[in-house]
Structure 1
């Protein structure tokens, strides 16, 4: 199980064959890598499932391979159906049927791992063979925000940008920047191409970047049609029989950042709200991660001396409406009973 969706295996993958299973999307949310937070956001799971299914079907129509097989509803009796069929039945889906690949354990062995990270990627790939989930997240950016970590990690020239240093304002990019970060380490970290290529196994980082670029283009175009601005996002991929397929979920308000009329329409709203209202907890999380790095241990949460506080009811209601109104706009259907996107955006501006 992940922090926001449950994972069901119907037929396990083998070294030679993909399996079959499902994601069941919950109303949980996670920020700052914490995992399940104290609250739930009503209809959030159905929102992510609906938007993810819409994007997978868009990718498949455009020739981008994915692990998606359809969604299921109470009326479909467990059978995988298209998103339109599910919405026509009167309810936004919460379950997505997917092909499964192998996901071996990634051991943390510290100095004995034979890897500077302390993680034994050689063991991961030895068990994975050539049917596996690539242990990377492929990140794409259409802009460099004022607070982007990219500014502290790189120089503009590293990306072919004609600035001596990062300007104070947001940088809108003509061509997206693609980066790689770790997937299964306790703390995500960005990688250079050589390390990403090694961690990816037999999957090519050039091919992974090409798939991410195609996904970014299609999601950006769809967002433009819906009146949204697509700022950045990420994908995960599986490798099977020499082919890279988009896995997990793609182009949702949790995986990607969108904006409408200058206002965030994504999980970033809740993230920034915690920064403003629970700064002590946010700093405790950062301090625990730093201490874990210094000690060379994986479990940073065990070092954190604070817990997050629940959200106010009005914040939960505003977040719910933002997810649902944004999904309605993106998929072009009234999948949810929600206010207009303008009204939902106005509500979160006042948080």
Structure 2
């Protein structure tokens, strides 16, 4: 389903019923929409699965509906890359607290995800919803921002007044927001794009755009409060949702170091660390990616990657180790439990800061 987690289907969804399946988290990572990068980050999959499970259980405890059913506890602690990852699970579905080891598999309910037809960069959402009926994955990402850093795309796409802020232009430093900004972007288009509210309302289909925003704001608040308990700052993130039986439920995975940006005393504790590292050490590849995306827009081609003439190089071993420790230590701190043998978050962050 994505470049960093595998997707298991055990019972297909129908027009009137949810299905049953699982995410199997790998140790792969992706930056700049590239897909699978040359390296793996050890225990990254278990970190994301654990953090995602913790957050789903937090949301459920606060009355926010989700598609989460539990984690799969397996005494053999099989790897997400195990060949059995495409066959029915053989472990017990339990809460995160009852898992014997940091899990790599998450049991979920499944909704329908029809094909989104397109010609070039023109996408047929009417066909998507005709096929989906009233049981479907809403083809949107709902983005929430608690701050506007210097490199944020928001600065290039909007003015402060668009968000009720008292600036004529964006200040040079980070803007901390008293109220989060919520935006909508496409989910299944080859190059994601931000949408006007009316565009998002059309793409959402039967699902209410107002309810989607309310769910996003509630999720953002709960994640921000949980992060603060670990002295982490929750900067921004996103959710994806399904629509079933007249109800919006949080889907995919929520509040991990891949989906969201967190910082610890000013240092990124998220995938953003790897993005910034590639910008510093492999600028030719990063620039080639950006150029290919722009060329694809001009040529009305969905597959921008076919236009990219550069490929990423592997990371040095010390960077892989630092990334592993950051994911593991960050998860330990966030969930308040020593799931991983890892340094303290303060020590892990100190290593990354010096790279």
**What is the rounded CA distance, in whole Å, between the counterparts of 1:122 and 1:291 in structure 2?**
27
Q: Name the structure 2 match of 1:114.
A: none
Equivalent pair of 2:74/2:92 in contact (CA under 8 Å): no
SS of aligned partner of 2:226: helix
Q: Does 1:103 align with 2:107?
A: no
State how far apart, in whole Å, the 2-side matches of 1:350 and 1:123 are. Answer: 51
Secondary structure class of the residue paired with 1:75: coil
The offset of 1:19, in angstroms, is: 0.2
Q: Deviations over 1:88-123 (max 9, x none)?
A: x2x10000000000000111124xxxxxx5011111
**For 1:324, which of 324, 328, 331 is the aligned residue?**
328
Partners in 1 of 2:52 and 2:179 — Cα distance? Answer: 24
1:62 aligns with: 62
The match for 2:317 is 313
Deviation of 1:78 after TM superposition, in Å, equals 2.1
Question: Which string of whole-angstrom CA distances, capped at 9 and with x for unpartnered residues, describes residues 23-61 of structure 1?
Answer: 000000000000000000000000000000000000000
- TM-score (ref. length: structure 2): 0.95
Residue of structure 2 aligned with 1:259, choices 254, 259, 263: 263
CA distance in 1, matches of 2:69, 2:93: 7
2:166 is matched with 162
Identify the residue that residue 279 of structure 1 maps to in structure 2.
283
Once the 2 structures are TM-superposed, how far is the Cα of residue 211 of structure 1 from its aligned partner? 0.3
CA–CA distance in 2 between the matches of 1:275 and 1:107? 34
How far off is 1:4 after superposition? 0.3
Match of 2:132 in 1: 128
**Secondary structure at the counterpart of residue 80 of structure 1:** strand
Displacement of 1:79: 2.2
Match of 1:336 among 335, 340, 347: 340
Q: CA separation in 2, counterparts of 1:230 and 1:300?
A: 31
1:226 shift after superposition: 1.0
Which residue, 233, 237, 242 being the options, matches 1:233? 237
**Distance in 1 of aligned mates of 2:19 and 2:74:** 23
**More off after superposition, 68-77 vs 96-105:** 68-77
2:79 corresponds to which residue?
none
Structure 2 residues without counterparts, runs of 5 or longer: 77-89
1:47 maps onto 2:51 in alignment:
no
Partner Cα separation in structure 1 for residue 217 and residue 156 of structure 2:
23
User: Equivalents in 1 of 2:125, 2:290: separation in Å?
Assistant: 26
Deviation at 1:74, TM superposition (A): 1.1
Deviation at 1:261, TM superposition (A): 1.0
Q: Distance in 2 between matches of 1:222 and 1:175?
A: 17
Aligned mates of 1:71, 1:330 — CA distance in 2:
18
Aligned to 2:205: 201
Q: Separation in 2 of the partners of 1:280 and 1:204?
A: 42
Partner of 2:145: 141
* 2: CA distance, partners of 1:145 / 1:205: 26
Q: Compute the displacement of 1:350 (Å).
A: 1.3
User: Residue in 1 aligned with 2:98?
Assistant: 85
RMSD: 0.8
- Residue 333 of structure 2 aligns to a residue in which SS? helix
Structure 1 unaligned regions, length at least 5: 111-116
